[in-house]
Amino acid sequence: MIRSDIIRGHLDSIILRLVLEEDRYGYEITKEISSRTEDRFQIKEATLYAVFQRLEKKELLESYFGSVSKGGKRKYYRITTLGKAFLKESAQEWKETKAIIDLFMEGLR
């Protein structure tokens, strides 16, 4: 299991990336993160909804209610134009950060 504090600073980008692929609702995002990381990283529901609130406040995401499902109306999230620009910038920043860390960490056993 990966320490969550290492990933915490990148949660905004992770969520935006998933919503860029398609509009999604909270539980779906939780399951997708667990699935893609083979359960090495799991996001708590409270954390996820705090990220949603932060991203909506910054106008990087917007929410809407989908059609009625078994449990009622689901709240979906979609990425905004501003969110796409932020995500692109974050991806570039990550590549540069990773390259620097790799300089010091590669080759260690």
**Confidence at 17, pLDDT banded by 50, 70, 90:** very high
Domain count, the chain: 1
Q: What's the token pair of residue 94?
A: 């990550």
Q: Supply the pLDDT for residue 54.
A: 96
Task: Summarize pLDDT for 34-68 with one digit per residue, the tens.
Answer: 999 999 899 999 999 999 999 999 999 999 998 77
Q: For position 55, which CATH number holds?
A: 1.10.10.10
Long-range contacts of 68-77 (CB under 8 A, 24+ apart): 74/25, 75/25, 75/26, 76/23, 76/24, 76/25, 77/15, 77/19, 77/23, 77/24, 77/25, 77/26, 77/52
Domain extent at residue 18 = 4-105
Query: For the whole model, what pTM was predicted?
Result: 0.87
